[in-house]
Structure formats: C-alpha cells, structure tokens
Amino acid sequence: MTELHQQLQGLWLPLITPFRDGELDVASLRRLVRHYAGGPIDGLILGATSGEGMSLSMGELEGLVSVVLAELTANSRQLPICLGLSGPSTARMKETLDDTCDWPISGYLIASPYYTRPSQRGLLQHFNALADHAAAPIVLYNIPYRTAVNLTNETLLALAAHQNIVGMKDCCADRAQSIDFLARRPAGFRVLTGEDAQTFDALSDGADGAILLSAHLETKTFAAIRTLLHQGNRDAAQAAWRSVAGLTRLLFAEPSPAPAKHWLWRQGLIDSPEVRLPMIEVSEDLATWLDAEIERRATVLQPA
C-alpha cells in the first residue's frame, strides 16, 4: 500500500488558484495556504477543475506546487498534494507525466479524456498506460458531465486492480452506480465524492471522504460531518449538513470557481475574484446573493 493510498480519505480541498492582473497571485496563494493549513483538511488538489488548471502554463503549475509546498513547510503542516491533470491524448498525457515526474507531489488526479469520447476499452487502455508510466500514484476522476464519457463500474473495477491506481474522485452523478461500486470495490481502494451537493448521501453510503470546492468555506463543518457519521451520530451529522447544504448550491449557481472566488475575496483571503477566460466573474445578481449570505452567516456566528 502506497503512502497516498493510506492518506486518501477525509476532507480534501481542491484549492482555487488566485489571479491578479492576469498573473498568479502569489501573495494571496500564500495567505490561502496559511489559512487552510490550520484547519481540518487531509489533503490538497492543485490545478484541477476548481484550480482552473487548464488555464495554467506548465511554468505556472510548477510555481503553484512550489509555493504551496513552501508555505505548508513554513507552517509546519505536512499534507499530501495531488496534481490535477486531464487531456484528450494519451501520448501527450505521458509527456506531462514525464515533465512533472520530479515535482514534490504525492500523486495525480486524472480525469477521463475529454472531447474524444473513447469506448470503455479505450478508457481502460488509456488509464493503464498512464498508470504504467507515472512515477507517482494515480487517483481516477470520473466526471462524465464534463468529459462526455462515464467510467462504468466494470471498467473501474478493472482499473482498480492496477497497483498504481489507488482511488477515485467520484462525480458520476448517479447514486446507484456509486453505491454499486462501493459495494464491489477491492479492499483498500479509496473513493472520495466530488459531488458537493450530495456529500452527506455519499458519506452515508460509505465513501471514504470528499474533495469539495465548498469546503473553502465552513471547512470545520464539512470535516465534522464525516467525523460525526464515523462516530455513529447521524442526527448531529445531518444537522451539520443542513447548515452548509445551501452553500453547495449557491457556489455552483454559476460556473465554478467564480462564486467561491467572490466569497474568498469578500472575506479578504484573496485580493481579487479574478478568473481566466473563458471563465468570467459572477453576475451582479449572484454577487448580491453571495454578499447577503456572507453577511447573514457573519451575523449568525457573532457571539451574543
């Protein structure tokens, strides 16, 4: 069992990438890492969907990893880091694995090839080829509503047999498929949900944890939900979930991560809500709703 295999559970944060004036905002990035290093997170995903990874150059991606690791070290916090990757070409993905093979990361989160829509046999060969090639363990990312292909459970079970594939971020959006895989997965194969709005159900069904954009906010509450479920305190877990369930809808009311960036900007954790085209900042209407919810939560949480 690899180290990542053991670490792949609990609450992981798919960290947003702060920008300012078109450039990586290193000062805001350091501030973010300091903030979350003191919280109950179990790992970080860098440069994936929430981190706008497809808009980053390789140099920016390497800088992102370097800054995050340096800030974690400065704050005496050791966290596993997975690098988010995706691409429609197996050969080019292998080249990216080569380019990143000596980076100080724990593993890769790799989505299915987008746009090309390969068959299940093609997906099996693609991921096996990457797993054979990668210098670090791979976590599969099944998110068919973005990639246009679904990894079926039969394909997932075949891939789970590869010693360098240690788990999955599950965004299949089909609870029946997820429950079936959880029941049939090999021992030790980790499953983390990535469906923010379905977190409570997925954890109740047996997922090992969650990778949640929404956990940029109310991090302690999201972490507590899993802890309470593990303790058998379902009522308290459900109450905690009800307190944040609305956030998981609000933060995806427009394309992510723009709503989360707006919230973090209003909180002062990042200096700008900037995103990169084709992503755009939130609409005026959503900004008004977000600001109202920020104010409401601040008021509710103020001591009497």
Tokens of 111: 């989505």
In the numeric block, which tokens belong to residue 91? Answer: 């050969």
Do the strands 19-20 and 23-24 form a parallel or antiparallel pair, or are they unpaired?
A: antiparallel
36 belongs to the catalytic site: no
- Gap between the Cα atoms of 35 and 25, Å rounded: 16
**Which one of 141, 145, 220, 261 is the catalytic residue?**
141
Which segments of 134-274 does DSSP mark as H helices, in order? 144-147, 153-160, 175-184, 199-205, 219-230, 234-250, 258-267
| Side chain identity at residue 158, one-letter code | A
**How far, in whole angstroms, is CA 287 from its chain's centroid?**
23
Distance CA 228, CA 240 (A): 9
Asked whether residue 280 is marked as a ligand-binding residue, the answer is no
Q: Decide: 247 and 214 in contact? Cβ < 8 Å.
A: yes
**Radius of gyration of the chain, Cα coordinates, nearest whole angstrom:** 19
Residues 6+ apart with CB under 8 A from 78: 72
Q: Choose the catalytic residue: 108, 169, 220, 261.
A: 169
> Binding site annotation covers 256?
no
d(CA 163, CA 40): 29
141 assigned to active site: yes
* CA–CA distance, 59 with 93 (Å, rounded to integer): 16
Q: Which residues lie below 8 Å from residue 131, measured CB to CB, with a gap of 6+?
A: 138, 159, 162, 164, 165
Give the CA count within 13 Å in the CB-facing half-sphere of 163.
Answer: 4
Give the whole-angstrom CA distance, residue 100 versus residue 3. 19
Which residue ranges make up the annotated binding site?
50, 211
Q: Binding site for pyruvate, residues?
A: 50, 211
Catalytic residue positions, numbered: 141, 169
